[in-house]
């Protein structure tokens, strides 16, 4: 069984991959400077911060 932090990291990893794919797809369709793509990029940044925070929490144990 995974620890809660590792389980959270796994979940966030999946969200990161989904958001990255969405961002790239939108970027290819609309151009990477389009506001929707920039919004995805900011969401991806937030997911990455959550992932690293969960990793830091897990490494303290």
Q: At 52, which CATH number?
A: 4.10.280
- Tokens coding 19: 């958001």
pLDDT given at position 55: 84
- Tokens coding 45: 């940044």
- Which domain covers residue 30, as residue numbers? 4-59
pLDDT given at position 57: 76
Q: What whole-number distance in Å separates Cα of residue 4 and Cα of residue 10?
A: 10
Q: What is the pLDDT of residues 3-54, one digit of tens each?
A: 666 788 899 999 999 999 999 999 999 999 999 999 999 999 999 999 998 8
pLDDT given at position 3: 67
Does the pLDDT of residue 2 top 60, yes or no? no
pLDDT given at position 61: 60
Q: What whole-number distance in Å separates Cα of residue 7 and Cα of residue 56?
A: 14
Domain count along the chain: 1
Residues 6+ apart with CB under 8 A from 50: 12
């Amino acid at each position: 069984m995974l620890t809660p932090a590792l389980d959270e990291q796994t979940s966030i990893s999946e969200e990161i991959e989904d958001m990255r794919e969405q961002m790239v797809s939108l970027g290819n369709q609309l151009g990477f400077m389009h506001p929707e793509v920039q919004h995805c990029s900011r969401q991806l940044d937030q997911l990455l911060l959550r992932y690293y925070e969960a990793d830091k929490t897990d490494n303290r144990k």
